[in-house]
Amino acid sequence: MKLKKITVTGGAGYIGSLATRALLDRGYEVQVIDNLSRGHQWAVDKRAAFSKCDLLDRALLSKSLKSFQPEAVIHFAALIQVNESVNQPELYLRNNFEGSRNLLECMKENSISKIVFSSTAAVYGTPESIPIEEGEPLAPVNPYGESKAKTEQLLQHYCQNHQFAGTAFRYFNVAGAHPDGTLGEAHEPETHLIPKILEAARRGEPVKVFGNNYPTPDGTCVRDYVHVMDLVDAHLLALEHQISRKFEAFNLGSERGFSVLEVIRATEKVVGQKIAIEMNERRAGDPPVLIAQSTKATRILGWVRKYPDLSTMIEHALQWHRSCFKTRA
């Protein structure tokens, strides 16, 4: 049976706002739950019901779910900065893990048992083998990854003990924006590589490269970039996928690695200008190489990437970056 009502936590954030739009466009009724600590009111789709609520506020959270009565929850809300998590581990465990625990408890209270959870490649830490398969042990090397790994484990218990159907998507490096250039990434502060390069290009300043002595071909970290719209598609497929009483984790990546320097070169081609580089120390908590194997999502969910090329992700990010800068400068 097709689901109709979906609650999206973190619907004021980058991926959550695009997922909300996609759900609404496909005829779902959507409730957004967000505390607006990092997301933006302007990013919340006007067609969605909005509840300003912190996942740590258990009473309000339960009340919000009760009032909307969704059939499933897509859980994006989280703090996502590796560096910040290294400096404030307790903040990450409280916000990401305890917030998720509250959400699961409140879902159980309200008889909602289907959840799609935003996990991360950071759960693998520094993986033994590349590309990374879902069966790799979870061994996070920073508190951000730890908060997500712990949530996955708790979700697994909910699937075993409380008949939850849980999908965890382990995102690799999410990039790009809506292809029409009207919605995308606006983190404050921005720390992600592609928007940082675009910002440097716009300002005519050098982009900081964190570490050039990693065991990689050019010494800079290698990451697997996946288009945000492809990521959103996977969530829609997971909602339609009839799994019950089951936990399933999937990698979502493009199965190709690009070093920081390669991403800078690719951005230079898209923006048509040279971008200067400033070499910096390594950033704490960064594993050298993360590349996904994502065949499981294709095999089980029928996930097909529409935008696998890095240059398309950069082009879409650039369109958004320009429109965002024009409107909010």
Please give the radius of gyration of the chain, using alpha carbons only, rounded to the nearest integer: 19
* Virtual torsion, Cα 235, 238, 239, 242, nearest 10 deg: 180
| Separation in Å, CA 192 to CA 42, 112, 121, 139, 205 | 21, 34, 15, 23, 16
Contact call for residue 190 and ligand UDP (CB under 6 A):
no
Contact call for residue 314 and ligand UDP (CB under 6 A):
no
Q: For residues 230 and 286, which CB has a smaller minimum distance to ligand UDP in the complex? A: 286
Report in angstroms how near the CB of residue 198 gets to ligand UDP at its nearest.
Answer: 11
Among 88, 156, 191, 323, interactor with ligand UDP by CB under 6 A: 191
Q: Are 48 and 21 in contact (CB under 8 A)?
A: no
Segment near ligand UDP (CB under 6 A), from 17-25, 85-93, 125-133, 189-197?
189-197
14, 28, 124, 144: the active-site residue: 144
| Residues in 127-156 that interact with ligand UDP by CB under 6 A | none
Residue number with the smallest Cβ distance to ligand UDP = 221
Residues in the chain: 329
Segment near ligand UDP (CB under 6 A), from 14-22, 179-187, 190-198, 243-251?
190-198
* Virtual torsion, Cα 11, 12, 15, 19, nearest 10 deg: 40
Among 260, 266, 310, 324, interactor with ligand UDP by CB under 6 A: 260
C-beta atoms surrounding 180 within 10 Å: 10
Q: For ligand UDP, what does the binding mask look like between residues 155 and 174, x meaning CB under 6 A?
A: ------------------x-
Q: Are 100 and 146 in contact (CB under 8 A)?
A: no
Tell me how many residues contact ligand UDP (CB under 6 A).
15
Segment near ligand UDP (CB under 6 A), from 86-94, 127-135, 176-184, 204-212?
204-212
Q: For residues 185 and 315, which CB has a smaller minimum distance to ligand UDP in the complex? A: 185
Q: For residues 182 and 280, which CB has a smaller minimum distance to ligand UDP in the complex? A: 280
Report in angstroms how near the CB of residue 86 gets to ligand UDP at its nearest.
Answer: 11
DSSP H stretches of helix in the chain: 14-25, 58-68, 82-87, 89-92, 99-109, 143-162, 193-203, 228-240, 260-271, 295-296, 310-328
Q: For residues 6 and 260, which CB has a smaller minimum distance to ligand UDP in the complex? A: 260
- The reply to whether 144 belongs to the active site is yes
Closest C-alpha among 59, 51, 20, 317 to residue 195? 317
Q: For residues 7 and 212, which CB has a smaller minimum distance to ligand UDP in the complex? A: 212
| Residues in 205-244 that interact with ligand UDP by CB under 6 A | 207-210, 221, 223
Residue 75, phi then psi, degrees to nearest 5: -110, 95
DSSP 200-237: HHHHT-PEEEE-S-SSSTTSS-EE-EEEHHHHHHHHHH
Q: For residues 70 and 288, which CB has a smaller minimum distance to ligand UDP in the complex? A: 288
Active site residues: 144
Residues of this chain that interact with ligand UDP (CB under 6 A) are 82, 173, 191-193, 196, 207-210, 221, 223, 260, 283, 286
